[in-house]
Structure 1
Amino acid sequence: MLVWPLGLLVRMWGRTLRFEIAPEDYRAFRKIDEPVAFVLWHNRLFLVAEMVRRYRQGRPIHALVSASKDGAWLDAFFSLVGIATVRGSSSRLGREAASALIDTLRSGRDIGLTPDGPKGPCYDFKAGGLIVPRRAQAPILLVGAEFGPARQLKSWDRFYLPRPFSTIRIHCELVSPETLAGDRDEVAARLRQRLLEINPDRG
């Protein structure tokens, strides 16, 4: 199985990266003393484990992984890189998956959400992605990453693979549960705009 060596490679790769984060963004990241939903675009997922390891020690992030057999290898991979998992499907088992993530937040643990996942379109903030934090009455942390040298894969999300030892600028914006209230589509549109602003694509 290639899961173990791949997990080790990703962990070592992440250690080589240099993160730059402005003081106000660092404070937004560190001052959260309650469970939070990290919200980021799908093509920035490479950074999650290393970012949480550096800035939110002792609070592992939980990600949704398919309950199917195909999700088993991803479950094993995530555990190797320091990401806990919640099993379920965002398509076939939507209600069960949402309930599992809500329970995770209510039990005091952080989760990660990709509003344009799992299959896109890229940078489409699906309003359904608000269901979990709204029902759990949890804040969300919008996460942005501005890459230096990096490769973009020819996938639907144009996934970013930063070069080892490259620099990445991290941007964060904390959004309170009260701000998430109101028309779901309008809130999703506002959050999408903010995510686009703090996630500039390379020219």
Structure 2
Amino acid sequence: MTDTPPPAAAPTVHTVSRWKRVLLWPLVRLVRLWGMSLRFETTSEDVRNCAKCDVPVAFVLWHNRLFLASEIHRRYRPHRPLYALISASKDGALLTAFFAMVGGMRAVRGSTSNFGREAATALVQAQREGHDIGITPDGPRGPCYDLKPGAVIVPRRTGAPVLLIGGEFTSAWQLKSWDRFYLPLPFSRVRLHCELIENERLADRDAAIELIRSRLLALNPDRG
């Protein structure tokens, strides 16, 4: 008699308890005010590409510029919910609760290491329902500025344009993390770049990956 292996355990999606949400609230309030204090400098083309694009887009930005994501969406695309892939881990649960409380970002839980396929399908569904999606192509653990092929999967399947986000900081702290994460100083100026790539330019996967990587690097010059 052949032994039948037991079914694989379903992946665990961790959540945050109510009391932890209460503890998060002071930090959420601080980050909201911090983001609102930033002075974004844009061109008319940046605004047209971001605020006036009336179709769902795939936001793409490097992981070390992630601090800007919620504030950009709040200012320029508040009419359209933003969905992003966040890990099913306990750390991911905290991030999910945090972004939900800050506002403007909703989570699809998963990762490339356990049930990324299901998560990608959920992102495709969210975009087909008319929502924006957010992608950090070098996240969640890097290497920094190493664009993973999975970053183009969802927009290629949905036909949505890709909105590349760049941020240049006049004054910022830079953490000693794997991505050298940027924290712009409160009330500082941020030169915001928004470049729209039409979906037709994503037809060839390898060419699309190189295009997005090269343009993101150009839009996000690091300080010396």
Does TM, scored on the shorter chain, surpass 0.5?
A: yes
Q: How does 1:1-203 map to 2 (within 5 A)?
A: 1=20, 2-82=23-103, 83-182=105-204, 184-203=205-224
Give the number of equivalent residue pairs. Answer: 202
**RMSD of the alignment, in Å?**
1.1
What letter matches 2:107 in structure 1? T
Runs (4 or more) in structure 1 with deviation over 3 Å come to none
CA distance in 1, matches of 2:53, 2:113: 31
CA distance in 1 between partners of 2:113 and 2:132 (Å)? 22
What secondary structure is seen at the aligned counterpart in 2 of 1:146?
Answer: strand
Of structures 1 and 2, the larger Rg is shown by 2
Q: TM-score under structure 1 normalisation?
A: 0.96
Cα distance in 2 between the residues matched to 1:157 and 1:34: 31
Instruction: Report the CA distance between 1:31 and its aligned residue.
Output: 2.4
CA distance in 1, matches of 2:172, 2:28: 20
Percent of aligned positions that are identical: 63
> Which amino acid is the alignment partner of residue 140 of structure 1?
V
AA paired with 1:62? Y
Where does structure 1 lack aligned partners over 5 or more consecutive residues? none
TM-score (normalised: structure 2) = 0.87
Separation in structure 2 between the aligned mates of residue 31 and residue 163 of structure 1, nearest angstrom:
28
Counterpart Cα distance in 1 of 2:112 and 2:151: 10
Residue type of the alignment partner of 2:93? A
Instruction: Give secondary structure in 1 for the equivalent of 2:119.
Output: helix
Per-residue CA distance 1:46-70 (angstroms, 9 max, x = gap): 0011111111122231111222344
For the residue of structure 1 that corresponds to 2:27, the secondary structure is helix
> What is the SS of the residue equivalent to 2:40?
strand
Unpaired runs of 5+ residues, structure 2, are: 1-19
